């Protein structure tokens, strides 16, 4: 009798790798965290190596957002009109304005206007990005800069917020804190809409991230809503104090340096 036990049916598939499973888990946690659910924050809090998982999530989201933004910018560049073709239209529009018609009889005005227009044309040609032309180079650089920026912001905020949370009676560890606050990067997923040309998400991402950080601290450290809110906002207050202090010191130093030189 033939042994059919070793023959695999077409419906059988190879088990998913651990890396694929971890990636799917991170995507699922980020999607659930986007809607301010406490469950994903609690899950990553109890996971092994939560800080490392959080770092992987941040890099994944940042690269995805940067790539979609690059595609959107490229589409904008491909569909945008040539700025050199717009110059004559702008110039004709200015000539039709009442104030220009009143002033064009003055030779000094015509000469000064022509000189300034020629300077504007040169600037228009050298730096069309200043006049709204899509620039692919900055969008491409975000593939590197955005992961670095989000990672640095995540680590600094996580450490400072951890200190405030512990002072307010928090129970979570630093690794757990970093893992939970990494999920607060989930609102960056809204920037995936920039894949469409000329779409701008706006400041809703920053506000949503603050709300996600509140849920992260509340869940990670098992704080009351009032203490979690304080631990969430105090890092921003500390940053404002530090920036204001440096600005004041810089102003005083400038007065002493330039004021002292002028008095001599």
pLDDT averaged over 10-residue windows placed end to end, the chain, 264 residues: 46 56 88 94 93 94 94 87 75 81 80 81 73 81 95 96 95 95 94 87 90 96 95 95 90 78 52
H or E element: which one contains 44? helix 39-46
**Does this model's pTM top 0.85?**
no
Query: Tell me, what's the pLDDT at 120?
Result: 79
Angle between helices 107-126 and 83-95 (to 10 degrees): 160
Whole-angstrom distance, CA of residue 99 vs CA of residue 96: 9
- Please report whether residue 22 resides in a domain: yes
Handedness of CA 93, 99, 100, 101 (dihedral sign): positive
**Is the sign of the CA dihedral 39, 43, 46, 52 positive or negative?**
negative
Is residue 99 in some structural domain? no
- Domain assignment present for residue 258? The answer is no
Return the pLDDT at 180: 96
Side-chain half-sphere of 121: how many Cα atoms within 13 Å?
Answer: 13
* Residues, the chain: 264
Residue 105 has a pLDDT of: 78
Q: How many separate domains does the chain show?
A: 1
Distance between CA atoms of residues 157 and 67, nearest Å: 25
Q: Give pLDDT, residue 2.
A: 46
Structural domain for 197, as ranges: 18-80+134-235
Whether residue 230 is contained in a domain is answered as: yes
In a domain, residue 52? The reply is: yes
**How many other C-beta atoms lie within 10 A of the C-beta of residue 25?**
16
Q: For residues 162 and 174, is the Cβ–Cβ distance under 8 A?
A: yes
Question: Domain for residue 98, yes or no?
Answer: no
């Amino acid at each position: 009798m033939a042994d059919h036990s070793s023959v695999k049916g077409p419906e059988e598939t190879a088990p998913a790798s651990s890396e694929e499973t971890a990636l799917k888990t991170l995507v699922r946690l980020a999607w659930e965290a986007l809607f301010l659910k406490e469950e994903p924050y609690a899950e990553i809090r109890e996971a092994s190596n939560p800080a490392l998982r959080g770092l992987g999530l941040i890099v994944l989201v940042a690269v995805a957002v940067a790539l979609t933004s690059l595609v959107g910018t490229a589409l904008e560049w491909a569909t945008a009109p040539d700025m050199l073709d717009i110059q004559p239209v702008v110039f004709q529009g200015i000539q039709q304005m009442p104030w220009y018609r009143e002033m064009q009889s003055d030779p000094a005005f015509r000469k000064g206007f022509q000189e300034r227009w020629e300077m504007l044309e040169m600037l228009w040609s050298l730096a069309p990005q200043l006049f709204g032309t899509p620039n692919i180079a900055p969008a491409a650089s975000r593939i590197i800069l955005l992961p670095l920026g989000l990672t640095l912001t995540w680590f600094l905020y996580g450490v400072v917020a951890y200190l405030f949370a512990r002072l307010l009676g928090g129970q979570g560890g630093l690794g757990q804190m970093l893992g939970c606050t990494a999920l607060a990067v989930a609102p960056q997923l809204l920037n995936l809409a920039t894949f469409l040309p000329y779409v701008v998400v706006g400041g809703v991402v920053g506000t949503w991230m603050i709300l996600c950080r509140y849920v992260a601290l509340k869940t990670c450290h098992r704080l009351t809503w009032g203490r979690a809110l304080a631990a969430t906002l105090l890092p921003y207050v500390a940053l404002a104090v530090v920036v204001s202090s440096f600005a004041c010191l810089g102003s005083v130093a400038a007065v002493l340096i330039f004021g002292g030189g002028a008095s001599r």
